[in-house]
Amino acid sequence: MKKPSTKMKKRTGTDAQIEEFKTRDLGSDIRASRVTPAVIHPKQQPTSILLEPELVEQLRAKGGKRGLGYQTMLKLIVREHLHEY
């Protein structure tokens, strides 16, 4: 019986999910912001969290003052204040 390989295969090409994301209409929020949608970079890891609607609205308001979306605003806040914890 052949022994399974323990070597990791090197990834080639692009992820099908990323390709699908690139082809989707991202909605009126993106169009209204007149900002080019961000591309997921290889060194970024997508995450998912649940936030209260009030918190999202606060992030939208604060981000809007800086010309940022709420997710970018959240990432900025985490980056600037993570060292405090």
> Does 8 have pLDDT greater than 60?
no
**Above 70 in pLDDT, residue 6?**
no
Answer yes or no: are the C-beta atoms of 18 and 40 closer than 8 Å: yes
Predicted confidence band of residue 22 (pLDDT cuts 50, 70, 90) = confident
**Rounded CA separation 9/75 (Å):** 32
Q: What is the pLDDT of residue 33?
A: 66
Quick check: 55 and 77 in contact, CB under 8 A? no
Is the pLDDT at 76 greater than 60, yes or no? yes
For the chain, give every domain's residue range: 16-84
- 33-71 per-position pLDDT tens digit: 666 656 666 777 888 999 999 999 999 999 999 999 999
- Give me the pLDDT at residue 57, please: 96
Structure tokens at 71: 């997710």
Output the six-digit token pair for 83: 């060292």
